[in-house]
Amino acid sequence: MILLEEILKKYPKEEEYLIEILLEYQTSKKNHHITSEDVSRISEYLGIPESQVCSVISFYTLLSTKPKGKYVIQVCQNIPCFVNDSQNIYDKIVELLGIHDGETTKDGLFTLELTECIGYCNQSPAIRINTDVYASLTPQKVEKIIDDLRGEKQ
Amino acid sequence: MIQQKLITKRFGKVNPTSLESYRNHDGYLGLEKALSMHPTKIIDEIETSKIRGRGGAGFPTHIKVRALSKQSGTKYIVCNADEGEPGNFKDRMIMENDPHAILEGMIILAYATGAEKGFIYIRGEYQNAIKLIKSTIKEAEDNHLLGKNILNKNFDFDIEVRSGAGSYVCGEEFALIESIEGKPGRSRVKPPFPTEKGIHELPTLINNVETFANFAHIILMGGDAFAQIGTASSTGTKLISLSGNVKNRGLYEVPFGTSIRDVIFKLGKGVKNNRPIKMVQLGGASGPLIPEYMLDMSIDFDRFENFDSKTGTGAIIVIDDRFDLFDVLLNNMHFFVGQSCGKCAPCREGHTQIVNLLMKFINHQATDKDLMSLENLANVIQQTSLCGLGQTSMTSIISSLRYFRDDYFMKVRY
């Protein structure tokens, strides 16, 4: 909770900062999610009902109450990526990690998600891993990226 | 020369993290000139320029600007950088390549309308742009371009960045306002319009990133000169996000009136492996699907309105003959099922039913009656949805029923 207090201190006690607080906190947490204790503390700080905090978390796709892996891999599935073989990229990740859309690897390292356009249609197929975008991908490049991330762990 | 560079003229030449570099490339000259003018005269220039919004709907900008200027008390200016429409990346490119141009446009508009506070609402996926815009604002504050007494004038204006959190519908203006207030992004009933009651019920003007980037040019060259670029109904240039199965995908800037074919074949160098084009989607997932024989159509707001399309975003997605119409439609409709905010029934329930109907066609189980149901339901969603999401999401279905009707007949069971 120390991390949350540090972040709360930076924001005025106004409900309009709810989304900013949630995003900053979740991004800085290792498993990228908001717990029920976090919800209580944030609602207390902003002076709004817990239900309001929950309604915001459940509305926005970047926010989650479910723990995720250290690396959240989001594969774009919209038309500009789709017509440039994004399915091959997704299939390669499934093959490498043994998980599907919405699942996390047992070691807690990777979560795989299908996502909507990430705005790199000029370099599709593209994926996002946490806050970084990887574009102009091939299955070979994806294998290298995942190997590199696994290496970082050791 | 098909391209005409106004918004992109500094791209690659200016250092996006340096105010000095921006100033060396005519940066903030538009603001300096604007501050020497009477605010009403600035709005007159915007009206003379005939500029229309670049975010999709193409609404005449001067009407909104004048409406805001007539309001009294606290008022807000918002830059809509929630670029979530699939196939678009132009706003990201402006933010990453020439961020001061957006601030300059916002400051000019704040001076013209008497707004004291601005927001830039950037989609949460654009982390690079968020960081860069935040540091650009800091640099502008340190150099008296934002804050109190801007450039020693009796004029104050601040800008704050707000991040989206993964919601396509927040590009819709009232959903965006709700999100800035820290709530789920669900639209409101209009009227009142944002320029009457927006953020915290106060007058609010919302423009797209590209629209803001145009203002300094309009002030510097004058509204008349700006109106000379493009066509009679659509003035200035348009940024085009070209993607899909083309050889040279990328961002191009062309005057309005340029044909779609020229963008694809002259700038994009044609289709990869020289395959035939099956269809082109204009604007993004909420735009029409058109066949190859319609590519000579020019990029122009009025031309697009002919098929109920709001194509001010300027995305062109080329799809070659390896892909089936229904692959594309199903992909688009899954997108809208996920992105509907759930507030109104036609959008919340309608998209799921459209997917069910499309699956019948894909599985060759559809009948003539299903074709009629699809057509009726698409029209109901388009005409009865509360906000722009449901009002435009059916464009690909409705346009394909017109231009690719044979593809449906091929799947119907007789």
Averaged pLDDT, A31-41: 96
What SS3 class is residue A39? helix
Chain A hits for B331, Cβ within 8 Å: 77-79, 82
The more confident residue out of B69 and B307 is B69
| Nearest CA-CA distance, residue A40 and chain B, Å | 17
Residue of B nearest to A22 (CA): B165
Do residue A61 and residue B165 have CB atoms under 8 angstroms apart? yes
Residue B317 touches partner A, C-beta closer than 8 Å:
yes
In the predicted model, is pLDDT for residue B414 greater than 90?
A: no
Chain A hits for B341, Cβ within 8 Å: 59
Chain A hits for B183, Cβ within 8 Å: 15, 52, 55-56
**Residues B212-246: pLDDT tens digits?**
999 999 999 999 999 999 999 999 999 999 999 99
pTM for this prediction: 0.97
Query: Which residue in A56, A116, A124 is closest to B243 by CB distance?
Result: A124
DSSP classification of residue B274: G
Do residue A78 and residue B89 have CB atoms under 8 angstroms apart? no
Question: What is the C-alpha separation between B299 and B60, in angstroms, rounded?
Answer: 17
A129 forms bridges with which residues in the sheet? A73, A132
Question: What is the C-alpha separation between B245 and A87, in angstroms, rounded?
Answer: 15
Chain A hits for B128, Cβ within 8 Å: 133
Residue B179 touches partner A, C-beta closer than 8 Å:
yes
- Note the Cα B385 to chain centre separation in Å: 20
Local confidence band at A146 (pLDDT 50, 70, 90 cut-offs): very high
Residue of B nearest to A46 (CA): B182
Do residue A19 and residue B83 have CB atoms under 8 angstroms apart? no
DSSP classification of residue B200: G
Query: Do residues B126 and B95 make contact, with C-beta atoms less than 8 angstroms apart?
Result: yes
Residue of A nearest to B252 (CA): A122
In the predicted model, is pLDDT for residue B307 greater than 90?
A: no
Local confidence band at B304 (pLDDT 50, 70, 90 cut-offs): confident
The proportion of chain A whose per-residue pLDDT surpasses 70, expressed as a percent, equals 98
Residue of A nearest to B240 (CA): A122
Residue A146 tokens, joined: 């995942």
In the predicted model, is pLDDT for residue B306 greater than 70?
A: no
